[in-house]
Amino acid sequence: MSSSVDPQSPSPQLPSGFSPLTPDDPRVIGPFRIVGRVGAGGMGAVFGALDDAGRQVAVKVIHPRHAADAEYRRQFAREADLVRRVDAECAPAFLGADPAAEQPWLATEFVRGQTLKEHVAEDGPLTGAALLSFAAGTAEALAAIHAAGVLHRDIKPGNVMLSAEGPRVLDFGIARAAGDDEAEHAVYGTPGWIAPERLDGAAATPRSDVFAWGGLVVYAATGRAPFGSGEARTLLARSREGTPDLDGVPDELRPLVARALDPDPANRPEAAEVLDAVLDLAGVEPAEAGADQRSRLRALLRASWLGFGTVGRGAGPWIAVIALGAAAVPNAGAVAGAGAAGGLAAGGAAGAAGGAAGAAGGAAGAAGGAAGGAAAGGASAAAATGTIAGMSKATALIVAGATATAVVTGGWIGGRVYAGEPILPFGAAAEETPAPRDGTPVEFRGLTMWLPDGWQAERIEDEFGPLSAPDPRVTEEWLVLYPGGQEGCADVDWMWADTNVPSCEHVRVFGPGGIAFGGPGYGPITAEEDPAPQFIPASEVPGCPEGRSVYTEDDPRHGAEVAETRPVGDQQAAYREVTVPCSQWEDPTDWSSPVNTRYYDQRWWLLPDSEIFILDGYGIEALDGILADAEVRRAERPATQPVRFRNLTFEVPGEWEVVRNEGEFQPLDQAAASDDWLLIATDPGRPCSAAESWNSHHGCPSIMLFGPGGISTGYAMSAVNESRPYHPAAEPYTCDPSYDTSAPEPAESLTPQEAGLADVGDRRAFYRVWYVGCTDAPGDRVSTDGPTVFYEQRYWLLPESQILVVDNHRTEGLAGMLAAGEVTA
Flag whether 168 is in a domain.
Answer: no
| pLDDT, mean over the chain | 77
Q: Find which of 225-234, 339-348, 605-614 is predicted with most confidence, using mean pLDDT.
A: 605-614
Answer yes or no: do 807 and 667 share one domain. Answer: yes
**Cβ distance 268 to 260 under 8 Å?**
yes
Flag whether 430 is in a domain.
Answer: no
Of the residues 388, 422, 456, which one is the last residue of a structural domain?
Answer: 422
In angstroms, the CA 378 to CA 86 distance is 15
Phi, psi torsion values for 811, nearest 5 degrees: -60, 120
Residue 783: which residues within 8 A CB-CB, separation 6 or more?
A: 732, 733, 734, 775, 777
Average pLDDT over residues 401-414: 29
Average pLDDT over residues 546-557: 86
pLDDT 10s digits, 159-209? 899 998 999 998 776 767 787 666 554 445 565 577 888 777 788 889 999
Residue 408: which residues within 8 A CB-CB, separation 6 or more?
A: 340, 427, 429, 431, 432
Flag whether 736 is in a domain.
Answer: yes
Answer yes or no: do 333 and 268 share one domain. Answer: no
For position 495, what pLDDT does the model report? 92
Residue-number span of the structural domain to which 366 is assigned = 2-112+313-422
Residue 736 pLDDT grade (very low, low, confident, very high; cuts 50, 70, 90): confident
For position 607, what pLDDT does the model report? 93
Average pLDDT over residues 537-564: 86
Residue 63 pLDDT grade (very low, low, confident, very high; cuts 50, 70, 90): confident
CATH number for the domain spanning 758: value is 3.40.1000
Average pLDDT over residues 737-754: 90
For position 418, what pLDDT does the model report? 23
pLDDT 10s digits, 324-377? 443 333 322 222 222 222 222 223 333 333 333 333 333 333 333 322 332 333
A 10 A CB-CB count for 531 gives: 11
Q: Does pLDDT of 110 surpass 60?
A: yes
Catalytic residue, candidates 51, 87, 154, 807:
154
Answer yes or no: do 755 and 615 share one domain. Answer: no
Residue 701 pLDDT grade (very low, low, confident, very high; cuts 50, 70, 90): very high
pLDDT 10s digits, 432-441? 445 667 889 9
Answer yes or no: do 663 and 781 share one domain. Answer: yes
According to DSSP, the residues that pair with 150 across neighbouring strands are 177
Q: Which of 73-87, 95-109, 270-284, 576-590 has the lowest mean pLDDT?
A: 73-87
Our answer to whether residue 154 is catalytic in this structure is yes
Average pLDDT over residues 471-476: 74
Answer yes or no: do 482 and 594 share one domain. Answer: yes
Q: How far is it between the farthest Cα atoms of the chain?
A: 106
Of 646, 695, 698, 644, nearest to 672 (Cα)?
695
156 in a labelled binding site = no
For position 680, what pLDDT does the model report? 93
For position 769, what pLDDT does the model report? 95
For position 692, what pLDDT does the model report? 66
Q: Among residues of the chain, what percentage have pLDDT more than 70?
A: 76
The angle at the Cα of 551, spanning 546 to 554, to the nearest 5 degrees, equals 160
Residue 635 pLDDT grade (very low, low, confident, very high; cuts 50, 70, 90): low
Peptide linkage before 472 cis (omega within 30 of 0): yes
In angstroms, the CA 207 to CA 87 distance is 19
Peptide linkage before 545 cis (omega within 30 of 0): no
Flag whether 169 is in a domain.
Answer: no
Answer yes or no: do 416 and 279 share one domain. Answer: no
In angstroms, the CA 26 to CA 670 distance is 38
Answer yes or no: do 401 and 447 share one domain. Answer: no
Flag whether 433 is in a domain.
Answer: no
Q: Find which of 4-8, 20-24, 128-132 is predicted with most confidence, using mean pLDDT.
A: 128-132
Q: Among residues of the chain, what percentage have pLDDT more than 90?
A: 35
Q: Does pLDDT of 451 surpass 80?
A: yes
| Residue 702 burial (10 A CB sphere; 0-12, 13-18, 19+) | buried
Q: Does pLDDT of 583 surpass 70?
A: yes
Per DSSP, the residues of 570-622 read TEEEEEEEEEEEEEEESSTT-TTSPEEEEEEEEEEEEETTTTEEEEESS--TH
Please state the domain count of the chain: 4
pLDDT 10s digits, 236-260? 666 677 678 899 999 999 999 999 9
Residue 9 pLDDT grade (very low, low, confident, very high; cuts 50, 70, 90): very low
For position 319, what pLDDT does the model report? 80
Q: Does pLDDT of 100 surpass 50?
A: yes
Of the residues 287, 304, 321, which one is the last residue of a structural domain?
Answer: 304
For position 200, what pLDDT does the model report? 73
Answer yes or no: do 232 and 336 share one domain. Answer: no
Exposure string of 660-674, with b = 16+ CB inside 10 Å and e = fewer, is: eeebebebeeeeeee
For position 191, what pLDDT does the model report? 58
Answer yes or no: do 701 and 563 share one domain. Answer: no
Flag whether 619 is in a domain.
Answer: yes
Flag whether 382 is in a domain.
Answer: yes
CATH number for the domain spanning 57: value is 3.30.200.20
- Between 674 and 185, where is the model more confident? 674
Q: Name the amino acid, one letter, at 26.
A: P
Average pLDDT over residues 47-52: 88
- Between 302 and 406, where is the model more confident? 302
- Between 612 and 81, where is the model more confident? 612
Residue 227: which residues within 8 A CB-CB, separation 6 or more?
A: 192, 215, 235, 238, 239, 243, 244, 245
- Between 686 and 568, where is the model more confident? 568
pLDDT 10s digits, 367-406? 333 223 323 333 333 333 333 233 322 222 222 222 222 2
Q: Find which of 91-95, 172-176, 281-285, 569-573 is predicted with most confidence, using mean pLDDT.
A: 569-573
Answer yes or no: do 294 and 318 share one domain. Answer: no
In angstroms, the CA 60 to CA 63 distance is 10
For position 229, what pLDDT does the model report? 64
For position 184, what pLDDT does the model report? 54
Answer yes or no: do 410 and 450 share one domain. Answer: no
For position 347, what pLDDT does the model report? 30
Residue 470 pLDDT grade (very low, low, confident, very high; cuts 50, 70, 90): low
Flag whether 633 is in a domain.
Answer: no
Residue 306 pLDDT grade (very low, low, confident, very high; cuts 50, 70, 90): confident
Answer yes or no: do 292 and 327 share one domain. Answer: no
Of the residues 588, 603, 628, which one is the last residue of a structural domain?
Answer: 628
Q: Does pLDDT of 533 surpass 60?
A: yes
**Cβ distance 654 to 639 under 8 Å?**
yes
